[in-house]
Amino acid sequence: MNFRLLGDLLAVFVPLSFLSVGGGQSILADIHRQAVGVHGWMTDAQFLDLYALSRITPGPGSLLVTLVGWHVAGFWGALVASAAIFVPTSLLVFGLAHVWSRYRDRPAIRAVESGLAPVAAGMVLAASCTVLRAAEGGVWAWAVAALSTLALVWTRVSPLLMLAVGGLVFLLALH
């Protein structure tokens, strides 16, 4: 068991725990930056593989953190990374829930709620850009992502249809 690596996982994921306002997806950009750029724990391709695995399995969006921990330090890395991402915010939310319910009608509470929504949206947008850059899909990937976003925002088209169309575009682009 490498205690230095476990300490590094704690140092990365405890602070990110408090930033996961929009869920696990909102901190994806910084998970990538830390795991690939800062610590060099993995390559872009390995990160994308773990990201894809975390998306196709049931469970929370933060499952990626567990997979990164596993990749870095095996079982103990997965356990430490998972605890680092879930325990701090769970304790904070537990404590804040009592305060929030008591003062929920106050203007300050409504202001905080209104301010967190665009922050969470921006963090999720940054995560999307991180995945697009790491995938190295080029102009095609960015175009498909932009057109899919516009279609999903302005119409009631099924996201499954958009996935099928995106896959078809890339299938045709390869031939």
Tokens 């976003």 sit on residue: 149
pLDDT at 76: 96
> Is 80 exceeded by the pLDDT of residue 145?
yes
DSSP 23: -
Amino acid occupying residue 37: G
DSSP 38: I
Q: Grade residue 22 by pLDDT with cuts at 50, 70 and 90.
A: low
pTM across the whole model: 0.69
pLDDT at 119: 78
Instruction: Tell me how far apart the alpha carbons of residues 149 and 101 are, in angstroms, rounded to a whole number.
Output: 35
Q: pLDDT tens for residues 78-93?
A: 999 999 999 998 898 8
Beta carbons of 6 and 76 less than 8 angstroms apart: yes
Q: Grade residue 31 by pLDDT with cuts at 50, 70 and 90.
A: very high
Q: Grade residue 66 by pLDDT with cuts at 50, 70 and 90.
A: very high
Q: pLDDT tens for residues 93-143?
A: 888 888 888 888 888 878 887 887 787 777 778 778 877 877 777 787 888
pLDDT at 42: 96
Classify the C-alpha dihedral 130-133-134-138 as positive or negative: positive
In 20-158, which residue ranges form alpha helices assigned H by DSSP? 28-32, 44-56, 63-103, 107-135, 138-154
> Is 90 exceeded by the pLDDT of residue 165?
no
Of residues 32 and 123, the one with the higher pLDDT is: 32
Of residues 22 and 57, the one with the higher pLDDT is: 57
Q: Which of 102, 103, 97, 124 is nearest to 21 (CA)?
A: 124
